[in-house]
Structure 1
Amino acid sequence: MKIAALQMQAVNGDSDANLARIAAAAKEAAARGAKLLIAPELAVSGYGAGEAFPKIAAPAEGELVERIATIARDHGLAIVTGFAEAEGDVVFNSALFTDGIGTNAVYRKSHLYGDYERQWFRPEAPTSVIVSHGGLNLGMLICYDVEFPENVRRLALAGADLVVVPTALPKGASGAFIADKMIPVRAFENQAFVAYVNHCGTDGRFSYAGLSRIAAPDGSLLAAAPAEDEALLFAEIVPSDYATSRAENSYLVDLARRV
């Protein structure tokens, strides 16, 4: 299955503008044969929306999610995107999967990063949210979650072929290390594909590292975005192509043997 990853510069607090950008990317991705489009963490609201989160947060079943589902349906692909999710008076930093034709799933970030996120969001207990699409099992995490190896391992043990990670990685030396070193290792040690999809540029509150990556089970990079500017990445996800890697690096099988 071909997937697309949108490295984008979101507009804080402007869901209409951000959804229009995602829709344009969905149109291009579908035209190039992609069956899944992944957008960054809080792409719909903008990661730096801050004080606007309580107002623009939306329920997992409602108008905003239906608008995203409509974009998916109109272009014949599934979408994973970050959004601020409201449940009563509580706001979660969430990721939505929708195929536009009846399958929706929401993952809530479990490991909040820094005082900024803890001010606006409630963490969820670590969970394994996996959906099937195009013959693949997709697991979802958000940004900081992937830096805890047990989160990716949990999804791999649950059968995830591809772990999608909408992120808001900040600019800096540690950001480059995470994108270039940690993400390929997460793929390698779990024998799974990892799509790590970031913002770029600055939104007036934060500056982002860019550096979106799609890594394969052998640790190679299938696609890589630059540090600056928007980009639409593409990669073919074919698990059978990595049978040799899985045979040589049998971590999951050997872990199961010890249980």
Structure 2
Amino acid sequence: MRLALWQTQGHPGDIAANLADLAVQARAAAAAGAELLLCSELWLGGYNLRAQPAEAADGPSAQRISELAQEHGIAICYGYAESHESGGKPYNAAQVISANGQRLSNYRKTHLFGAFERTLFTPGDRLQAPFKCGDWSIGLLICFDVELPENVRKLTLQGAELLLIPTALTPEYRAVPDLIVPARAVENQLFVAYCNHSGVEAGLAFLGGSCVAAPDGSKLASAANGEALLIVDLDHGQRAALESTFPYLAGRRPEIYT
């Protein structure tokens, strides 16, 4: 699979401008041969907003992104604020639209980080099973979710080969892309794509540092702090070749973990 990660500062509160930029980036990613484009956490409306512009999973922005996915022949994963079905606080969500314009997955962040997120959002109540995109089985988490090893291991045991992680990470948490993301990749023998915001958004500075970690813990690509479109090739064979070197899954003894 050829995967694209789009790291951007975005336009907080301006969904139309973000969608216009997505049209440009989807075209560029598709022209580079990418099959899937990953955007950051709450990319659609912006992360650092006290009033999130929430939409339904099948709302007008989802319909526009479906059109872009079909126009350019590329699947798109994006973060957004999903309106609550009962009128409560919205969910911090991520949705994947296929190259055919169909929803592949919609995940509501289960582990909200800090008072800011817990004040604004309703936590999701379940992980979503991996979905298929081409011949890949893909899991979906959001930011803080990946820092808790139980989440990643559960998706791995459900068959995930690649994790998509939209995130909104600030500079004091540099250890996450530098240490934690590669560790999750190694200990679960999968690829982890981690896509962050860049620059300063509504007064909040972000780290950038988007990256893709391979099953051996190496980074196949990484960005500094600025606008970036990373293009990465992922190979099933790399996972298979490392099974004997890092036999963490085969060596598990789940009967003693409960």
TM-score by length of 2: 0.94
> In 2, are the aligned partners of 1:83 and 1:95 still within 8 Å (CA)?
yes
Q: CA deviation at 1:256?
A: 6.2
Matched, 1:244 2:220: no
SS in 2 for 1:254: coil
* 2:161 paired with 1:164: no
Distance 2:227 2:174 in 1: 17
- Candidates 199, 202, 224, aligned match of 1:201: 199
Identity, % of aligned pairs? 40
- The 1-side partners of 2:96 and 2:26 are apart by 14
Cα deviation digits, residues 35-93 of structure 1 (max 9, x gap): 00000000001101222x1xx20111222211111111111010000000012313000
* Contact kept? 1:128, 1:154, Cα under 8 Å: no
Q: Which structure is higher in helix share?
A: 1
Residue equivalent to 1:104: 104
Q: 1:123 aligns to what?
A: 123
Paired position in structure 2 for 1:94: 93
Cα deviation for residue 166 of structure 1 reads 0.1
SS in 2 for 1:50: coil
RMSD: 1.4
Give the length in aligned residue pairs.
Answer: 253
Letter matched to residue 140 of structure 2 = M
Displacement after TM superposition at 1:208 (Å): 0.2
Letter of the 1:194 counterpart = V
Q: Which residue of 1 aligns with 2:114?
A: 114
> Which residue is equivalent to 2:37?
37
- Aligned partner of 2:18 in structure 1 is 18
Instruction: Give the match's secondary structure for 1:138.
Output: strand
For 1:50 and 1:79, locate their aligned partners in 2 and report how far apart those are by CA, in whole Å.
26
Q: Counterpart of 2:250?
A: 253
> Which residue does the alignment assign to 2:178?
180
Give the Å deviation of 1:110: 0.5
Distance across 1 between alignment mates of 2:3 and 2:253: 30
TM-score, with normalisation over the residues of structure 1?
Answer: 0.94
Larger CA deviation: 86-95 vs 145-154: 86-95
- Tell me what 2:71 maps to: 74
CA–CA distance in structure 1, aligned partners of residues 254 and 143 of structure 2? 31
Instruction: Give the letter for the 1:217 counterpart.
Output: P
The answer to whether the Cα contact below 8 Å between 1:70 and 1:100 also exists between their aligned partners in 2 is no
1:103–1:256 Cα change, 3 Å: farther
Of the structure 1 ranges 75-84 and 199-208, higher mean CA displacement relative to structure 2 is found in 199-208
Instruction: Give me the whole-angstrom Cα distance separating, in 1, the residues matched to 2:23 and 2:107.
Output: 21
Q: Which moved more, 1:241-250 or 1:78-87?
A: 241-250
* Alpha-carbon contact 2:49-2:202 (below 8 Å) kept: no
